């Protein structure tokens, strides 16, 4: 992949969020591929326990360790990690308290699960802490960029704002220090939070709300990724005519003949009329949908952030499609 400028030079942590159903895991995977250009190494993390990355890259379920899942378009490597709170807490106890065998005993009696259940703030510190460690790593498996497939927009500000979440758990000590260190990175120029959306009313409204919450928490908002964008099938002139109900059915009938759908002898018959009327109705619906999409685009433009568009893929997403999406991200300057 040829060298090019990116809108996010110097960023090491790309957090990807979005309303459920917008394709945020697909976008996160494509972004990890796009960032693995020119021999770079990227780590793609997930924290929701869904094994979405494994399904996306068609690999076995990910353990709590970094595994190579793909080679980037430019020869770099993409590694993946499924961060699991119980394993993260065990690692945390060993790192800060050197519990070793005692930590395993706590796990057996259920204390670990109890701690991560009754203290959700602690759970988020553990999840983000593992990602933080990968971003800050300077020895061993060092990554040029880390991509986090994060929780949805409705929970993202609370999830990332671990400092306030642990306020009721720990005023001082290792947990509080860890939270403070994580927030320093999350609020630094090393981090951006990208929001994935669709050109539909509910996802756009959740995007607007999510961006507002991120800004209120002093977390850096990155780009807006508009996913599953459909091509316009009509010219601007035809869209305008369809919206006004001014499409000429006579011309549509002739088009049906030209396409071989209707015989010349039947162009004025009832079947051709029904087909033409159906196409006029579909065109009107399409024009209304395009107008709504343009309105939603205006809402997104009002956020004053870079906007990237990825196409609708009717056949579904496989690894080949993922590489294509990564190429489009690079072409638009996202990576």
The strands making up 41-46's β-sheet, listed across from edge to edge, are 67-71, 77-82, 41-46, 145-149, 13-18, 191-197, 221-229, 307-311
The pLDDT of residue 290 is 83
pLDDT band at 125 (very low <50, low <70, confident <90, very high): confident
CA gap 183, 332 in Å, rounded:
29
Write out pLDDT tens, residues 87-124: 777 676 665 545 455 445 445 545 445 455 545 567 78
For the whole model, what pTM was predicted? 0.84
Q: Which of 79, 83, 105, 84 is nearest to 94 (CA)?
A: 105
Q: Three-state secondary structure along 36-59?
A: CCCCCEEEEEECCCCCHHHHHHCC
- 224: part of which helix (H) or strand (E)? strand 221-229
Q: Domain 13-230+312-330 is in which class?
A: alpha beta
63 token code pair:
């353990």
Write out pLDDT tens, residues 14-60: 999 999 999 999 999 999 999 998 889 999 999 998 999 999 999 99
Q: What is the mean pLDDT of the chain?
A: 87
293 token code pair:
């999409």
pLDDT band at 175 (very low <50, low <70, confident <90, very high): confident
The pLDDT of residue 75 is 85
The pLDDT of residue 275 is 94
153 token code pair:
């927009």
């Amino acid at each position: 992949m040829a060298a090019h400028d990116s809108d996010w030079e110097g960023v090491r942590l790309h957090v990807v969020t979005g309303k459920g159903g917008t394709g945020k895991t697909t976008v996160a995977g494509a972004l990890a591929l796009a960032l693995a250009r020119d021999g770079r190494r990227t780590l793609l993390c997930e924290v929701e326990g869904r094994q979405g990355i494994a399904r996306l890259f068609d690999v076995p379920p990910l353990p709590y360790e970094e595994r190579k899942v793909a080679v980037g378009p430019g020869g770099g490597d993409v590694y993946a990690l499924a961060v699991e709170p119980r394993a993260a807490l065990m690692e945390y106890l060993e790192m800060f308290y050197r519990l070793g065998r005692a930590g395993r005993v706590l796990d057996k009696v259920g204390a670990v699960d109890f701690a991560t259940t009754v203290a959700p703030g602690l759970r988020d510190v553990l999840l983000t802490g593992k990602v933080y460690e990968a971003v800050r790593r300077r020895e061993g498996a060092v990554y040029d960029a880390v991509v986090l497939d994060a929780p949805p927009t409705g929970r993202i500000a609370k999830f990332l704002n671990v400092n306030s979440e642990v306020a009721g758990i720990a005023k001082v000590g290792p947990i509080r220090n860890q939270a403070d260190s994580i927030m320093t990175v999350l609020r630094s120029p090393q981090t951006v939070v990208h929001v994935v959306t669709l050109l539909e009313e509910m996802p756009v409204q959740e995007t607007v709300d999510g961006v507002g919450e991120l800004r209120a928490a002093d977390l850096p908002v990155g780009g807006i990724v508009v996913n599953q964008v459909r091509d316009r099938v009509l010219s601007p002139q035809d869209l305008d005519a369809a919206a006004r109900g001014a499409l000429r059915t006579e011309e549509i009938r002739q088009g049906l003949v030209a396409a071989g759908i209707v015989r010349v002898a039947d162009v004025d018959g009832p079947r051709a009329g029904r087909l033409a009327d159906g196409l006029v109705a579909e065109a009107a619906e399409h024009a209304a949908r395009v107008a709504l999409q343009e309105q939603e685009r205006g809402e997104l433009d009002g956020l004053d952030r870079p906007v990237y568009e990825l196409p609708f893929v009717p056949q579904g997403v496989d690894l080949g499609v993922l590489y294509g999406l990564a190429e489009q991200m690079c072409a638009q300057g996202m990576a």
